[in-house]
Amino acid sequence: MPNPNATKLRAPDAAAYLGLSRSTLAKMRLRGDGPIYSKAGPRIVIYDKLDLDAWLAAQRRRSTSESLSRA
């Protein structure tokens, strides 16, 4: 169970926090269109909760016709 007060989250916990599957978040890393992350080794991906919140806020739209902007 992830700590709700943690400021750093590993990929599975970050995916749960965002409401995404782990594979969707992994695909976003490959495409470069997901939240900013850090690598703490060859297989350890770390997200900062502030970066997740900022990325999520940047995804807000008023209608389905608005295009997604790339950072």
- So where are the chain's domains? 8-58
How many residues are recorded in the chain?
A: 71
Whole-structure pTM value: 0.81
Q: What is the pLDDT of residue 67?
A: 72
**CA–CA gap between residue 56 and residue 49 (Å, rounded):** 10
Q: Is the pLDDT of residue 58 over 90?
A: yes
Find where tokens 């943690």 sit.
Answer: 6
Quote the CA–CA distance of 8 and 51 in Å, as a whole number: 10
- Tell me the pLDDT tens digit for each residue of 11-28: 999 999 999 999 999 999
Q: What is the DSSP letter of 8?
A: E
Residue 4 has pLDDT above 80, yes or no: no
pLDDT band, residue 71 (cuts 50/70/90) = very low
For the chain, the farthest-separated pair of C-alpha atoms sits apart, in whole angstroms, at 40
Task: Give residue 37's pLDDT band: very low, low, confident or very high (50, 70, 90).
Answer: very high
